[in-house]
C-alpha cells in the first residue's frame, strides 16, 4: 500500500474516532447538565388585550345606566350615608356600582416564571419543581400542578382614565404574592391549617351539590352559599396548586385561580367590596363570595370580545384554541372585581 493511502486511512480513522468521541461527550453532557425549561409570556397591552366592555353594567342610585354586561344585585337606594372622622361627620352620596380591573394573575407550571411580565424568569431551576400534567397512580384520572403569581394591577387608576374618583383603588403596580414562597401551596396536608372545614365537604353528597353551582354559573353567577365549589372546574378545596381532576389547561388554570382567590380571602389579604356593607369602605370577608369576581384571559390568547366570565362558569364554549403546545400551556388572567360605592 502506498504511503499516501496509509496516510489517508489514518486520517479517516482519526476523524471517525473524533466523531464518536464528540457524540459520547454530547450524550454525557446532556445527562450531566440540568435541563432548563423555557419561560414564556407576554406583557399585557392595556389597549388591545383588555375587554373594556367588562366595566359594564354601571348602576347609579340603583338604576342601571348601561344595558350591556352581566351584573349581581345592587343596593336599591337613591341616597347613601357614610360616617366620617372629621366634621361634618357624615358624607352623603349616591350609590354607584361597576366592575373594576384590579388584579393580574399568572398560572404557570414553571416556577418563578412571570408570564404577564413578558416571560421573565426570576430563577431558573431547570426541571426541578416544574409542574406537570399526568395520570394519578392506580387510576386514569389526570392531575396537574400550577404555581400562581398575584399582581396588584389597578388598571383604571394606573392609566388615569378617571381622576379624583374616590371609588377606585388608588394603589400602584406590585408583585404581591408568589406561591413558590408559600409552603402551604405545595402540600395538601399542610394546607389543612387554612381550611379545616374541608373534611365536611369531601363526600359525594357535598360534591354533587357543585353541579348546581356549575349550572347557575354557566347561565348567570355562582352560588355563594356553596363556598366549597368551584363551579364547573371542580372543588375549591384544598387551597393548593394540585388539580386532581385535570381536564384541560384552561380548566386547571381557572380552578387554581379560584383557589388562590379563596385562599387570599381566608388569609385576610382580600376583602369585601359588594353590597350595602361595601358602600363606604371595604370589609373583612374570610369566606369568599364568588359573585364579587369575574375573570378574563389575557394570555396566551386574550379574550376581548365578551371575554369576562363569573367564577365557575363552564369553559367549554369559549376555551377552544386557547391552549396549545409550548407557548400556550401557561396562562394569564385579569381579575375584575365588583364594586359598590357611595359616591359623594
Half-sphere exposure of 281 (CA within 13 A, CB side): 6
- pLDDT value at residue 21: 36
- pLDDT value at residue 126: 53
123 domain residue, yes or no: yes
Alpha carbon distances (Å) from 331 to 42, 275, 294, 319: 10, 31, 16, 12
Residue found under cell 374618583: 165
- pLDDT value at residue 20: 42
Identify whether 300 is preceded by a cis peptide bond (ω within 30 of 0).
yes
21 domain residue, yes or no: no
Burial of 179 (0-12, 13-18, 19+ CB in 10 A): buried
80 domain residue, yes or no: yes
1 domain residue, yes or no: no
- pLDDT value at residue 27: 33
- pLDDT value at residue 164: 59
Tell me the whole-structure pTM to 2 decimals. Answer: 0.85
- pLDDT value at residue 88: 85
d(CA 333, CA 89): 40
Half-sphere exposure of 40 (CA within 13 A, CB side): 13
Distance of CA 4 to the CA centre of its chain: 71
- pLDDT value at residue 121: 92
164 domain residue, yes or no: yes
- pLDDT value at residue 313: 96
Sequential pLDDT tens for the chain (344 residues): 544 554 444 444 444 444 343 433 333 333 333 444 579 999 999 989 999 999 999 999 888 988 788 999 999 889 999 998 888 889 999 999 999 999 999 999 999 999 999 999 988 665 455 565 666 555 566 889 999 999 999 888 877 666 557 888 888 899 999 999 999 999 988 999 999 998 999 889 999 999 999 999 999 999 999 999 999 999 999 999 999 889 999 999 999 999 999 999 999 999 999 999 999 999 999 999 999 999 999 999 999 988 899 999 999 989 988 999 988 999 999 999 999 999 98
DSSP 203-238: SHHHHHTHHHHHHHHHHS---TT-TTB-GGG-B--S
Q: How many domains does the chain have?
A: 1
Alpha carbon distances (Å) from 242 to 52, 99, 144: 32, 30, 6
Provide CB contacts within 8 A for 166, sequence distance 6+.
341, 343
Grid coordinates representing 105? Answer: 394573575
Q: Are the beta carbons of 54 and 294 closer than 8 angstroms?
A: yes
Boundaries of domain holding 198: 37-343
28 domain residue, yes or no: no
Closest CA to 108 of 140, 133, 134: 133
- pLDDT value at residue 162: 65
Distance of CA 336 to the CA centre of its chain: 11
Alpha carbon distances (Å) from 159 to 13, 101, 189: 69, 12, 42
- pLDDT value at residue 35: 40
Q: Which residues pair with 121 in a beta bridge?
A: 113
Grid coordinates representing 293? Answer: 369576581
26 domain residue, yes or no: no
Amino acid at each position: 500500500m502506498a504511503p499516501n493511502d496509509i496516510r489517508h486511512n489514518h486520517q479517516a480513522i482519526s476523524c471517525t474516532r473524533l466523531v464518536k468521541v464528540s457524540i459520547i461527550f454530547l450524550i454525557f453532557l446532556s445527562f450531566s447538565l440540568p435541563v432548563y425549561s423555557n419561560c414564556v409570556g407576554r406583557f399585557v397591552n392595556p389597549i388591545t388585550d383588555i375587554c373594556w366592555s367588562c366595566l359594564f353594567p354601571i348602576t347609579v342610585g340603583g338604576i342601571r345606566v348601561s344595558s350591556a354586561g352581566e351584573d349581581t344585585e345592587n343596593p336599591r337606594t337613591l341616597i347613601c350615608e357614610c360616617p366620617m372622622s372629621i366634621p361634618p361627620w357624615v358624607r352623603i352620596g349616591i350609590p354607584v356600582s361597576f366592575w373594576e380591573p384590579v388584579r393580574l394573575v399568572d398560572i404557570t407550571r414553571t416556577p418563578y416564571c412571570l408570564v404577564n411580565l413578558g416571560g421573565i424568569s426570576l430563577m431558573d431551576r431547570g426541571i426541578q419543581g416544574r409542574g406537570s400534567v399526568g395520570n394519578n397512580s392506580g387510576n386514569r384520572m389526570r392531575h396537574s400542578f400550577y404555581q400562581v403569581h398575584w399582581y396588584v394591577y389597578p388598571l383604571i387608576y394606573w392609566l388615569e382614565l378617571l381622576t379624583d374618583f374616590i371609588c377606585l383603588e388608588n394603589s400602584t403596580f406590585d408583585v404581591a404574592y408568589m406561591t413558590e414562597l408559600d409552603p402551604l401551596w405545595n402540600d395538601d396536608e399542610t394546607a389543612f391549617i387554612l381550611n379545616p372545614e374541608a373534611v365536611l365537604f369531601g363526600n359525594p353528597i357535598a360534591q354533587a351539590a357543585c353541579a348546581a353551582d356549575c349550572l347557575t354559573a354557566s347561565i348567570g353567577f355562582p352560588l355563594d352559599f356553596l363556598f366549597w365549589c368551584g363551579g364547573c372546574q371542580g372543588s375549591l378545596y384544598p387551597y393548593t396548586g394540585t388539580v386532581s381532576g385535570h381536564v384541560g389547561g384552561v380548566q386547571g388554570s381557572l380552578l387554581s385561580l379560584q383557589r388562590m382567590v379563596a385562599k387570599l380571602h381566608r388569609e385576610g389579604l382580600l376583602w369585601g367590596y359588594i353590597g350595602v356593607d361595601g358602600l363606604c369602605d371595604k370589609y373583612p370577608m374570610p369566606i369568599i363570595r364568588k359573585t364579587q369576581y369575574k375573570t378574563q384571559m389575557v394570555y396566551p390568547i386574550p379574550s376581548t370580545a365578551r371575554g369576562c366570565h363569573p367564577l365557575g362558569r363552564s369553559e367549554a364554549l369559549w376555551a377552544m384554541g386557547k391552549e396549545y403546545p409550548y407557548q400556550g400551556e401557561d396562562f394569564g388572567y385579569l381579575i375584575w372585581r365588583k364594586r359598590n360605592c357611595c359616591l359623594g
